[in-house]
Amino acid sequence: MANHPNRSRGPYTAELSGASWARGPQLECGTIREARAWAEEYGTTADRCTITDKTGSVVAIHARDTSGDGTRWYRAAV
């Protein structure tokens, strides 16, 4: 039921943040999964990806585990 067209909250806007930026790059994408993959491409440069829906409501936050080598990302959650 999650993929039902009437339940879509997209397009989504993903915005990165981290020690390198107060406000980082943004991307408009069709799915939360696409936003997560985009954030992970930044490796250890980005610490967090805030994902909002078309109304501007935060639907997910995808954060990097900064302990250890810092390459692991936690699953996106609200």
- Radius of gyration for the chain, computed over Cα atoms and rounded to the nearest angstrom: 13
d(CA 75, CA 59) in angstroms, rounded, equals: 13
Highest mean predicted confidence (pLDDT) among 19-23, 29-33, 64-68, 70-74 = 29-33
Which residue(s) pair with 48 in the sheet? 17, 63
If one compares 22 and 5, the residue with the highest pLDDT of the two is: 22
**Are 31 and 10 contacting, i.e. CB atoms less than 8 angstroms apart?**
yes
DSSP code of residue 57: -
Whole-prediction pTM value? 0.80
Token digits for 39?
Answer: 């954030």
**Are 61 and 48 contacting, i.e. CB atoms less than 8 angstroms apart?**
yes
The predicted-structure confidence for 14-57, as pLDDT tens digits, reads as follows: 999 988 787 889 999 999 999 999 999 988 888 999 999 999 99
